[in-house]
């Protein structure tokens, strides 16, 4: 992403100014009077607090924005764990009557529906063929059946319904008084997130006594895989605040934390840096005590590009 942004800036710099700052004429043909000197100084100060950018460049650099509003701060703890196969969604299929396998349909990796034909078996007793059907919808993860083989009493197919996986998080006894069934969990790994809740908690016995937190995770979109390592953020308490900002938007400029408030212009956008007085934070959002109003639209993703341009502009003016 950084390489892409740098390439965009280089291209635009070669073709013209990247970001506009309402630059004033810095020529020295006329000696300014005292009043003009003050006006120029005010403009220079204003230039160091805002950036103007075209709509096209805002899209190319993916500078997104959100609306400032009230919200919830969450007190959470982070646990580590794994996504595993839900044993209730794994089916091992055998032949009801031992016999000769006449036909086999699916291969490993094939997705089947409940009631779909898996194989045809000829019973040793009746010498009649009967169908072997899938009891669930899912993916064939194991196959031990080929035409011409004897079925015996072995498992011929294993089918996994991976649309729901089970989350196992490891917690220490010190956390036992904090966590309980029903609490919400934010599951995160490799840029993916999912919301779930604690279903139940069980003890684990070993060299180090731990608790195991169990929760279902929706995998209907197929973003998760069995045995994937994940983080689980368990919400312990929630506090409503009148105004909060997303921590991804926070930038530090001239030693002060703040955000860039967005204003639509005829041909683009104006981003004004607003220093903020901040309160409590939960790591994802921070309470705003002063410097921003509900309804203000502020830059979120890639807001650091705006900060970098302000710093570059300030350095150029000082020079």
Closest to 76 (Cα-Cα) out of 186, 2, 154: 186
pLDDT reported for residue 173: 87
Separation of CA 312 from chain center: 31
pLDDT digits (tens, 9 = 90+) for 210-269: 899 999 999 999 999 999 999 999 999 999 999 999 999 999 999 999 999 999 999 899
Sequence-separated (6 or more) residues with CB below 8 Å from residue 161: 86, 89, 90, 91, 136, 137, 138, 139
Half-sphere exposure of 312 (CA within 13 A, CB side): 13
Q: Do residues 211 and 81 both lie within one domain?
A: yes
CB atoms within 10 A of CB 8: 16
- Structural domain span for residue 264: 2-24+36-72+241-318
Q: How confident is the model at residue 27 (pLDDT cuts 50, 70, 90)?
A: very low
219 and 245 together in one domain: no
Asked, for residue 116, whether it belongs to a domain, the answer is: yes
Residue written as tokens 């917690």?
171
Say yes or no: 230 and 179 in one domain.
Answer: yes
Same structural domain, 222 and 173: yes
Tens of pLDDT, residues 66-95: 999 999 999 999 999 999 999 999 999 999
The whole-angstrom separation of Cα 31 and Cα 37 is 10
Taking residues 171-195, report their average pLDDT.
Answer: 92
Same-domain status, 79 and 173 = yes
Count of the separate structural domains present in the chain? 3
Q: In 106-255, which ranges are E strands?
A: 111-112, 117-123, 129-133, 138-143, 155-160, 164-171, 184-189, 192-197, 200-204, 210-218, 229-246, 251-253
Indicate whether 223 and 80 sit together in one domain: yes
Residue 31 lies in a domain: no
Query: At how many degrees (to 10) do helices 34-47 and 304-318 cross?
Result: 150
79 inside domain:
yes
């Amino acid at each position: 992403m950084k390489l892409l942004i740098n390439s965009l800036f280089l291209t635009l710099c070669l073709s013209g100014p990247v970001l506009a700052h309402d630059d004033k004429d810095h020529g020295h043909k006329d000696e300014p009077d005292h009043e003009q000197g003050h006006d120029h100084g005010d403009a220079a100060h204003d230039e160091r607090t805002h950036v103007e950018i075209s709509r096209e460049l805002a899209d190319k650099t993916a500078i997104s924005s959100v609306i400032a509003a009230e919200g919830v701060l969450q007190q959470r703890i982070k646990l580590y764990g794994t996504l595993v196969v839900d044993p209730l969604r794994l089916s091992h299929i055998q032949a009801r009557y031992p016999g000769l396998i006449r036909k086999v349909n699916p291969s490993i990796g094939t997705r089947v529906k409940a009631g779909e034909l898996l194989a045809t078996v000829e019973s040793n007793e009746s010498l009649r063929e009967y169908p072997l059907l899938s009891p669930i919808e899912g993916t064939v993860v194991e196959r031990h059946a080929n035409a011409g083989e004897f079925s015996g009493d072995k498992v011929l197919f294993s089918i996994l319904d991976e649309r729901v996986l089970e989350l196992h998080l490891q917690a220490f006894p010190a956390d036992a008084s904090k966590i309980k069934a029903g609490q919400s969990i934010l599951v995160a790994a490799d840029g993916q997130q999912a919301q779930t809740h604690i279903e139940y908690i069980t003890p684990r016995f070993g060299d180090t006594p731990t608790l195991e937190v169990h929760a279902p995770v929706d995998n209907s979109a197929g973003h998760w895989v069995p045995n994937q390592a994940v983080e689980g953020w368990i919400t312990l308490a929630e506090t409503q605040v009148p105004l909060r900002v997303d921590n991804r938007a926070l930038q530090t400029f001239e030693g002060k934390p703040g955000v860039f408030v967005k204003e639509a212009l005829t041909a683009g956008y104006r981003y004004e840096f607003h220093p903020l007085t901040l309160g409590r934070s939960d790591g994802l959002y921070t309470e705003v005590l002063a410097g921003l109003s509900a309804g203000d639209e502020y830059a979120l993703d890639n807001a650091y590009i705006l900060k970098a341009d302000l710093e570059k502009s300030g350095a150029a003016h000082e020079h």
